[in-house]
Amino acid sequence: MDKLIIDDRKKATISNDGATILKLLNVVHPAARILVDIAKSQDAQVGDGTTSVVILACEFLRQMKPFLEEGVHPRVVIHALRRGTQLALDRLDEIAVKIAKDDPAQVRSLLEKCATTALNSKLVAHQKEFFSKLVVDAVMLLDELLPLDMIGIKKVAGGALEDTRLVSGVAFKKTFSYAGFEMQPKKYANPKIALLNIELELRAERENAEVRVKSVEEYQKVVDTEWNILYDKLVTLHKAGVKIVLSKLPIGDVATQWCADRDMFCAGRVPEEDLRRTQKACGGRIHTTVVGLTDATLGTCELFEEVQIGADRYNLFTGCPRARTCTIVLRGGAEQFMEETERSLHDAIMIVRRARKNDSVVAGGGAIDMELSYHLRQHSRNVTSKQQLLIGAMAKAFELIPRQLCDNAGFDATFVLNKLRNRHANGDLWAGVDIQREDVADNFTACVWEPALVKANAIVAASEAACSMLSVDETVKNPASSSTLPNENKPVKPGRGMGRPC
């Protein structure tokens, strides 16, 4: 299920992403803040599995609690937890399936399956096939460093989720424009693109500059020069054969009109990340001066056009020579819904990125958790010390994930878990919960896959958090000083104290 959270600014967020929820909750309890931390860490390292890491950490603690109450020293428990973690990781390594990287078709299908598994737990689960293809396409377009900021996600309200499209190139919303803009052509094939960091507007050359003139003629000359400086820049661009001018800074009406007269397209105030993406896709450089424009520093693409998407107009650059970037134009109804979709896609993208970097996968849907649980339980039987019980308890904690899956799907968890335990005891490595049929199934053949890294990181983070919580025997809190952080307790209201209603 999803949670609806209203934060201190009365902004509503709908999410089932652990990290997002915990971030919004403003947890103050010192021990509970560790949980928020591990969710963040999972988000940073893997990008998905934030919910499972938190519930796993809690379950570790819950299972260990009876032992502590019976007087087992926390250090012994910590030791067992570390040992159990190591065992689980070794087992994970042992059974994870490596996928050959040389066959592109196989790699692609692997990535799609991982993305599908990640999306399964999200709001957009019923469109998971559609989105998993989209996400994999998006990631495949990137270069080997796979920088996340090279995938842009744009949200346009309206339309259906299926109207979401992937632009293999750059897309951004039409920027604010002046008169004359509508006279400019909106479609070019193979244009030269100049990316600028220059204000194309009549402006002071320098803020603290001053002009002192002695005669009217000189004054007129100064005025003309100001215009000429602007025209010179435009002429340089025009002479270099530039058809499209994009700038981070404003492009004024004079320049807009000038461009319109000469069959050029211009857009000012382009957001910086969009400009950088355009640069990655189309090549060229971002110019802070127009001196030294050459073909090498100008970008190009096969097709530029402006299209209407929903209520907004978008500038699309497609067929870029170095398509190391792409943009997902997300469509959907409510704003919150689209935000959640964006987060889900982010998670899926991260999973696919990780899967591309590390090629070993395990079966999801509780299969790997049951297998680890089984392995730990078997192992605990061979231990003679106190650790036998503790590792056994840890084994039980791993069952939580399939149990929670069943509970959330409305299945009888006890029944399904019994079956699962039996299947794993009979050596069925990848038996997991089958969400569709309320049963157990071999999730590996059912293609519910996730990268082994996700699981490994979740286990490590959960156990580190549990260990640090167990190792604390005393909490000391100093009174908060009032002078250093006056705004800590009262959130800053909008309107800067002018009493704007919020």
Q: Which is nearer to other proteins, 479 or 501 (CB)?
A: 479
CB count in 10 Å sphere of residue 184: 20
Q: Which is nearer to other proteins, 212 or 500 (CB)?
A: 212
Q: Which is nearer to other proteins, 422 or 471 (CB)?
A: 471
Q: CB of residue 206 vs other proteins: minimum separation in angstroms?
A: 5
Q: Which residues of 226-255 are buried (b: 16+ CB within 10 A; e: fewer)?
A: eeeebeebbebbbeeebbbbbbbeebbebb
- The one-letter code for the residue type at 346 is H
For the record, the structure tokens of 181 come out as 């803009």
Q: CB of residue 456 vs other proteins: minimum separation in angstroms?
A: 8
Q: CB of residue 13 vs other proteins: minimum separation in angstroms?
A: 21
Q: Which is nearer to other proteins, 289 or 422 (CB)?
A: 289
Q: Which is nearer to other proteins, 80 or 264 (CB)?
A: 80
Q: CB of residue 469 vs other proteins: minimum separation in angstroms?
A: 9
β-strands 431-434, 439-442: how paired?
Answer: antiparallel
Q: Which is nearer to other proteins, 233 or 403 (CB)?
A: 233
Cβ contact 155:365 at 8 Å: no
Q: Which is nearer to other proteins, 113 or 287 (CB)?
A: 287
Cα distance between residue 374 and residue 44, in whole Å: 30
Q: CB of residue 228 vs other proteins: minimum separation in angstroms?
A: 7
- The one-letter code for the residue type at 456 is A
Q: Which is nearer to other proteins, 105 or 296 (CB)?
A: 296
Using a CB cutoff of 8 Å and minimum separation of 24, what contacts does 83-90 make? 83/387, 83/391, 84/376, 84/390, 84/391, 84/394, 84/395, 84/463, 85/459, 85/460, 85/463, 87/375, 87/376, 87/379, 87/391, 88/372, 88/375, 88/376, 88/398, 88/459, 89/456, 89/459, 89/460
- Cα separation of the two ends of the chain: 29
> Helix crossing, 50-69 with 30-45: angle to 10°?
140
CA atoms lying within 13 Å on the CB side of residue 206: 4
Q: Which residues of 434-466 are buried (b: 16+ CB within 10 A; e: fewer)?
A: bbeeeebbbbbebebbbbbbbbbbbbbbbbbbb
Q: CB of residue 29 vs other proteins: minimum separation in angstroms?
A: 10
Q: CB of residue 232 vs other proteins: minimum separation in angstroms?
A: 8
Q: CB of residue 114 vs other proteins: minimum separation in angstroms?
A: 18
